[in-house]
Structure formats: structure tokens, C-alpha cells
Chains A and B, each alone.
Chain A
Amino acid sequence: MNTTTVNDTAGHHDHDHDHAPAGLMRWLTSTNHKDIGTLYLWFSLFMFFFAGALAMLIRAELFQPGLQYVQPAVFNQLTTMHGLIMIFGAIMPSLVGFANWQVPLMIGAPDMAFPRLNNWSFWLLPAAGTLLIATFFVPGGAISGGWTMYPPLYMQGGIAYDISILAVHILGVSSIMGAINIIVTILNMRAPGMTLMKMPLFVWTWLITAFLLVAVMPVLACAITMLLTDRNFGTHFFDAAGGGDPVMFQHVFWFFGHPEVYIMILPAFGIVSTILPTFARKPLFGYVSMVYAVASIAFLSFIVWAHHMFTTGMPLGGQLFFMYTTMLIAIPTGIKVFNWVATLWRGSISFETPMLFSLAFVILFTIGGFSGLVLALVPVDIQLQDTYYVVAHFHYVLFSGSAMAIMAGVYYWLPKWTGHMYDEKLGKLHFWLTAIAFNITFFPMHFLGLAGMPRRIPDYALQFADFNAIASVGGLLLGASQLLFLYIVVKCARGGAPAGDQPWEGADTLEWTLSSPPPYHSFVTPPLVK
């Protein structure tokens, strides 16, 4: 892919076949991958702020010991919904938004394979989002048993628990359809000459991610269907008295849940692997091994699920098996990190905002990887399971991993999407605020977890007070910094210096051969890739 060249760029710029209706109907009825991508991105940004606001309440309550602002029942709703909405409403949709925008552009296709289905995948999200947010206002409030929805605790709630199951079903339908669309687009609609091994790494990561989605979202549907029937139709899947087992839910859930973790990080790998070579002005190191590493991470993700369940008391053999497979993941992940560093080595690096976010990604994601390795070891995990160490770990992979890669990608492609340059000074300010506030918030959580603070508690013993106060200050700063992000994006969408077709001198993928913003149908005549 590093030698991708384009010899047919003529004829892309005629707009005579432009059928977009104006106004609201353009968005409601769109069959255009770029419009739908934009919808995904705005939706995820809204949900990011919504779930972020819940996090601000959590951190406010935890600023000092004692109960100050919210009662425990509400606190549990906040943590549960923060997790659920960040995962299903913010991270996943934004990555699908990237896929919608970038996959056709990067493989030289006119649009997605199923443009109408694509629109349905998106419009199911506001439906599910409405249901989820509405649960805050039903009697009893939103679900409060954690985003993992473990029974038997999940049996104890009111109507919000049924609504949330159905909302997650709808999200699942959306994800499966979206994933099938992406797979088919990649497999069937590449420009002539673009063999699989010439695809940009971002496209590769999404191909594998989409495969994971199709494979595991149905399993999630299966798990929550059993919850629904246990709650309402008298089945005993998770009730020992009837021969069921609550731990079985955890097995089925995490069979979905661990691949889900990679669903949220693999496209982020793809974004970073696109940005680093651009600003290092040097080809990505080890493209082939990157592809194999992503594929082996995906494969391993199917056989590590029970490492989320070491404290449930599995037999020795089970604990050892899942410990070994989990440790193995460090190898392909390590290869990726080494490749990124080798890409930077002897490059000609410049530090625009997307590059800053990507560099921070490599550094901070690696810390998250190390804490993951620590947690992979059963004895240490038993000590740290369900503590703030775990909270720190997954925020290092999900915030400084996925979310910061997403921000990097937004800055990187905003000029292409809008035709304008974003405000570089503000972008850098946003980066530094985010990176610093993030570490103030989450680094102390490692210490809290080691010292013995359980997660998901609204109040804590006095020895945890100092680090919690620091984390809360950092958290509020982190939240406030994201308002700057919103401002920068809106400002860039509304105007700014013209970006030109090719604003980054080191970029070599197909999207930069099109105008900024690209024409309505991306590649009407497929480019020829040598």
C-alpha cells in the first residue's frame, strides 16, 4: 500500500449527478456514505458529551469521602450509563463514522455497498439512544447494575431494565448491518489493482473489526435475550434453583465482551497507523506484520474472555488457560508498538495536532497495555479485579487509546471532510489540555486500585481521599477541555482557510487525490492502483 499511486484522477469532479435533497431530508433519507458518516460522527460527539457529563457527576461525588451530591442508587445509574453510552453511543459509532467516510475514499469506491442499509444502521442509533436516555426518567431510574448487566442483580430492577435490553438489541442490529456493509464494501468494491495487501492499514483494521462485530454482536443478543426471558417469562438460565448459573451469563457476555474491546481499539490502530507515516514522512514500518498482528489479535480475542472472570472461582485449568492466552496478546500488540516506533525512527517528523494525539496514543496506550499484562496474571488479577486499577487500565486503552485516536483522526481528516483547515493553535491547546488532564485523572487510579479501593462505590474509606481529590480535579478539567474540541470542530465546519486537496505533504492514500470536500459520489470512475 505504500507504493499506491493513482493514474486516473480525471473526471471525478463533475457534480452533474448530484441528487441530494436539501435541508433536513438530506440527512433523514441520505444514501451517501459521507453524509451518513457525518451523522455518525455528530451523534457520537453528542453521546460523548452526554456520557461525559455523567462522568463529571461521578467525579464530583467522589471528590471527597461521604455522600455529597447523589445517593448511591443514582450513583450506580451514573456509572452504569456512563459505561454503556460511552461504549455503544460514543466510541463505536464514531469509529463507524470514520469507516463510512474513509473506507470508500481509501479503496476508491463510489459509495458503500448497501447505501440504504447504511442509512438504516445509522438511524437505529438515535432510536436506541432515545430509549437509553429515556430510562433516566422512568420510575426507578436507569439501570444501575453496571454496563455488564450481570444477573442476578439485573433481575431486581424495573422497566428501565427491559427498555435497556431492547435498546441494546437495536444497537446490535445496527452494528451487524453496519459491519456487513463495511465487509462487503471492502471485499467487493476496491478499485482495480488494489489487492488486499495494498489496502491502507485503516481499511484492514476495519475489515477485521467488522468481522468481529458480525461474529459477536449476535452472541450479545443471545445473552441479553436470556436476561429478558429470565426477567419476564420465568426461564431459569441464571437461577441456580432451576439448574441455571449466573456465571454462565458472564461467559456468554464476555465471549462478546472481549472481542468488543478490540472492536473499539483496532480501528484506532488503523487511524494511528495512517497518521504516523504521514507526519514522519516515511512509509509505515512492517505493513505485512501489522496486518498479521491485527488478525492474530482478533483471533486471540475469541479465546481470552474468561480473564474478566478470574475471581468467579474457575477450576485451575481454566484459570491457567485463560491466563496464557491473554498473555499471548502482548506479542502482536508489542509488534504493533515496535512497528510504530520504527516508523518514527529516522523520519522527518512534524508535530501537527493529529500527530501529537497519535504520539500520545502510542505512549499512553502502551501504559494501558502494560497494566493489561499485569492484570493477565491470575494471582495479581485476583488482587486487582474490580478495583480502580482496572478502571485506570481500561481508561488508558479506551480514552487515551480509542478516544484520542479518534480525535487524532478527526483533526487529520477534517480538512478533507470540510475543505477547511482547523485552527492549529487551538488544536494543540486542546491536545495538551487533554493529555495532561487525562493523566491527572487516571494515573492516580492505579495507586487507588493497588491500595485496595473497589470500583463502582459512591463513597470510600479515608485513605483513598487524596488521590480521589486529584482525580476529580483532573476529571473536571478533562471534561471542560473537550468543550474546546467541540468549538474547534464547529469552527472548522463553518469556515476557515481552504485546505486544498492535499494539506499534508506526507499523506499517500487515495482520499487525498480527491477534492476537499470530495464530490458527492466519491469515485465515479474507479482509480487504477498500481
Chain B
Amino acid sequence: MQNVDEFLLHMWQNVAPLVILKSMGGINLSIPKYRDQRAGHSCWARTTSSLFALFARLVPALARADFALNLPTPASGLAQDIYDLHTLILWICFAIVLVVYLPMAIAILKHRKSADHQPAKFHDNLTVEIIWTVIPILILLGMAWPATKLVASMKDTSKSDLTIKVTGYQWKWEYEYLGDDIRFMSNSSTPKEQIDGEQPKGEHYLLEVDRPLVVPAGQKVRLVLTSSDVIHAWWVPAFGVKQDAIPGFIRDTWFKVDQPGTYRGQCAELCGVGHGFMPVVVEVVSPEKFAVWKQEQKALVAAAAANAGKTYQMAELQSLGEKVYTANCAACHQANGVGIPGAFPALSGSKIATGEVAGHIDIILNGKPPTAMAAFGKQLSDLDIAAVVTYERNKWDNKTGDLVQPADVAARRK
């Protein structure tokens, strides 16, 4: 590198493509559709998005989903605003990078000893120092203004159309539609075999649940969050919503999604061994479909109530019990019932799972604080608990032959 021109040429040829790649714009951004539905978009947002579109066309090879380089396509207004704010900051950062790295690169290339450059003697310049203190302050003010407005609107949970209570459990979510008698658990539905590599992994590996949260499109949904055990965080990236669920306290947040569809996220706060296996799935449906869905849920609740007094056969309970066990117990006690020595006790051959039935039911109902053994009384129905107790007492080395009915569990509830 002999002179500045050559250096600039070098930058253009070798560094510029990197910057383009870094700007991530193009790629997966594909100009979020949501933008079109909102009026009054600021000028810079439009400019940057068209720039991104340009990049997207320039580097089509990179536009693969697997190499997603930016925030996911926003599905809510908040997520769109976050997206735009992030883009703004990113461009500012690139500008500053140029200001900082360019002189540095020139110094490295030109002012080197091997080029026999004689060192200057200066070590102070008040004017320059004041300039590079004041300009960053102005830039920061420019960043703080949109951020402040956005924080305020994110915190504004008033005037919601619907309130859903979200409760975190180790390691699943419970959704309760306040005002409607609908309450259910949402468990990960990725089979253990896929995790262990015994089956090919499905398209939504680790991001699929047995019963998703269902919400109406175009309505402001307020979530109130809490937890029954440790801190969890409910997060759907496309909504721009992440909120910790804190045991004993209530926090709230909100989202409004116009486009029906399935949106996926995960627990974002380390919550124990099952933390990586605690997905969030939200189905956004039209208000009409939502009304139908609510009716179906209420019918299910009624049907379950009608079955309360029923007695079950061994095979029925065992097969239901295995499902309950896999969803709720296997993360700690393991599928083969041997637990993890020192951390989670074995159930196979354990005193509780082979001793008195009442004690077995009690520990499942009430848990064992302060250990990770949670109280499942509020999470599982009498039938589920009866099934899982029956399953545990007849599986592995446990050959008690005991058959536990929902009524037995109901009797132990206080």
C-alpha cells in the first residue's frame, strides 16, 4: 500500500462487501410487510429499507433463511418500531465506525516505521477534544428521542381488548383467559427421540407445543405474567415482546398482531434443566375463528367435568400416565426413571414410588420446597395425577400393581 488512493481501493474491494454483509439489511429483511399497513413512516426508515432491498438483490445467495442476519420480520407495530430503531442505530454505528477506523487504517498503513515515517510530537488538542465530546452527545440525544417514545408506548398496557394471564412453570406455560373460563397448559411437543437424534428433527424442532396460545387478530392483547417457581421470560421475537415472569409478582405487557398466523418463541430466562425446551407458540386467528375456538374450549371443560367420577382401567391410565410423565417429569427424573444422582432422585425403586399411595400423591400435589420438585396440584387434573401415579408405580423396577383413580387424588386435595 503506497498511498491513500490505493488504500481506498483496497477498502472498496475487500472491506465494502463485508460491510454490506454486516449491514444484514438485505437478507431476510425482505422489507417487512407490516410496514405497508402503517401510515406516517419516517423518512429514514423508508430510505434504509429501500437500501436494504437493494442489498437483498445484490447478494441473493445470502438470502437464505438459515443465515438469518437480522431481527425476524415484525408482526406487530411494536416489533416494527424496534426493528426500525435498531436499523437507525446500526447505520449510525457504521458511520462512526468509518470515522474511527478510517484514520486508524490510514495511520496503520502510512504512518509506519517501515515506511520511515517520522513521529510527530503533539499530545493534546483542546479543540479536537471538545468536538469529539460534544458531537457524540448530540448523536446520543438523537438516539434517545425515538427510543424514549417507543419505551413509553411499550409500557402502555391500557385499553386492551383481552387479558390473558400467563404463568410460567418449570418447564411449560399456563394460559388463563381472564373472564372466560378457559385455562390450559402449553407443553413442548417435540419428541424426546428427535432431541436424542433417534428420529429426524421436524421443521419446528423445539418450537412446537401441544396447545398453543390462541388470540384474535387486530386486537390489543394484554398479558399479565407471573410464575409458580423460578423466573421465566415469555418471548415472541416477531411481536417484540419479552417479559420476565416473576414468582409472587405480576408484570404486564401487550401486543397487537394484524396478520393471522403461527408465531413462535421461547423462554428467555434460564430456569433450570428444561430451559431450552420451553417454547411459546401463538396462533393469531381472525376474531370470528377466535369466538368459535372459545366455544370449543368451554365444551372441553364441560366434558372434563362430566367425566369427574369415572373409573379407569390400568391400560388407559398407564398410557395417559406415560404422556403426563414425559411432559412433566422426565426432564428431571429421566425417561428411564433413574434421575440424576445428587440432583434429581430416581423414581425406579424409590421409597415414595413404591411405598404408600397417599404419600406418593401428596408429593406430586404439594411438591417439596425448596427443591426443584414443584407442586403439581394446580397444574395437573385429578385424572392426570392419577394416571402418572399409576404409571410410576408400575413402570421400571416398580411392580406394585397399584391402580389409582382420579377420585383418590381428589380425596388427597386439601
Contacts and interface: CB of A to CB of B under 8 A. Distances in A.
Interface of A: 2, 65-68, 71-73, 76, 138-141, 144-146, 150, 152-153, 155-158, 231, 239-241, 245-247, 280-289, 311-313, 315-316, 319-320, 323-324, 327-328, 330-331, 334-335, 337-338, 341-342, 344-351, 359, 362-363, 366, 370, 373-374, 377-380, 382-383, 385-387, 447, 450-452, 454, 456-463, 465-467
B201 A66 contact: yes
A380 B89 contact: yes
Contact of A323 (B89, B137, B147, B197): B147
B119 A348 contact: yes
Contacts of A323: 144, 147-148, 151
B253 interface: yes
B342 A138 contact: yes
B120 interface: yes
B270 A241 contact: no
B247 A246 contact: yes
10 contacts: A139-B342, A144-B272, A152-B370, A157-B343, A347-B119, A350-B113, A379-B85, A382-B240, A385-B242, A447-B67
Interface stretch (B124-132, B177-185, B282-290, B384-392): B124-132
B207 interface: yes
A377 B147 contact: yes
Given A153-B272, A374-B89, A460-B276, A383 B82 contact: yes
B324 interface: no
B285 to A, nearest CB: 23
A456 B275 contact: yes
A342 B132 CA distance: 12
Nearest to A459: B276
Nearest to B276: A457
Given A282-B119, A456-B270, A65 B66 contact: no
A285 B124 contact: yes
Nearest to A153: B230
What 6 A-B pairs come out closest when comparing CB atoms? A240-B248, A139-B342, A457-B276, A140-B342, A313-B251, A283-B123
A359 to B, nearest CB: 7
A459 B370 contact: no
B246 A450 contact: no
B175 interface: no
A189 B197 CA distance: 64
B370 A366 contact: no
Interface string B65-104: 1111111100000110110011001100100110011011
A282 B252 CA distance: 56
B121 A283 contact: yes
Given A145-B270, A349-B113, A462 B205 contact: yes
B216 interface: no
Interface in B116-167: 117-125, 128-129, 132-133, 136-137, 140, 143-144, 147-148, 150-152, 154-155
Contact of A246 (B72, B246, B272): B246
Contacts of A76: 270, 272-273, 275
Given A341-B103, A350-B113, A374-B93, A284 B123 contact: yes
Contacts of B28: 451
B147 A150 contact: no
A359 B107 CA distance: 11
B248 A241 contact: yes
Nearest to B272: A153
B251 to A, nearest CB: 4
A349 B96 CA distance: 24
A313 B119 contact: no
B114 interface: yes
Nearest to A350: B113
Interface of B: 24, 28, 65-72, 78-79, 81-82, 85-86, 89-90, 93, 96-97, 100-101, 103-104, 107-108, 111-114, 117-125, 128-129, 132-133, 136-137, 140, 143-144, 147-148, 150-152, 154-155, 194-197, 201, 203-207, 229-231, 233, 235, 237, 240-244, 246-249, 251-253, 265-277, 331, 340-344, 370-372
A155 B231 CA distance: 12
B276 A72 contact: yes
Nearest to B371: A156
A66 B196 contact: yes
A291 to B, nearest CB: 13
Contacts of A144: 272-273
Interface of B is mostly: mixed
Given A465-B66, A467-B67, A382 B242 contact: yes
Nearest to A380: B86
A335 B128 CA distance: 10
A282 B117 CA distance: 12
Contacts of A140: 340-343
A460 B279 CA distance: 11
Given A348-B119, A450-B69, A460-B206, A379 B154 contact: yes
B278 to A, nearest CB: 9
Contacts of A320: 148, 151
Contacts of A73: 273, 340, 343-344
B342 A158 contact: yes
A379 B82 contact: yes
A327 B143 contact: yes
A153 B271 contact: yes
B375 to A, nearest CB: 13
A327 B147 CA distance: 11
B196 A67 contact: yes
Contact of A454 (B107, B235, B341, B372): B235
A76 B243 CA distance: 22
Contacts of B207: 461
Contacts of A153: 230-231, 270-272
A337 B100 contact: yes
Contacts of A378: 147, 150-151, 154
A373 B195 contact: no
Nearest to B124: A286
B230 to A, nearest CB: 4
B113 A459 contact: no
Contacts of B114: 350
A356 to B, nearest CB: 10
A281 B119 contact: yes
A281 B114 CA distance: 13
Contacts of B69: 447, 450-451
A286 B68 contact: no
A280 B111 CA distance: 9
Given A281-B113, A348-B117, 7 more contacts: A67-B197, A327-B144, A341-B107, A378-B151, A461-B204, A463-B65, A463-B68
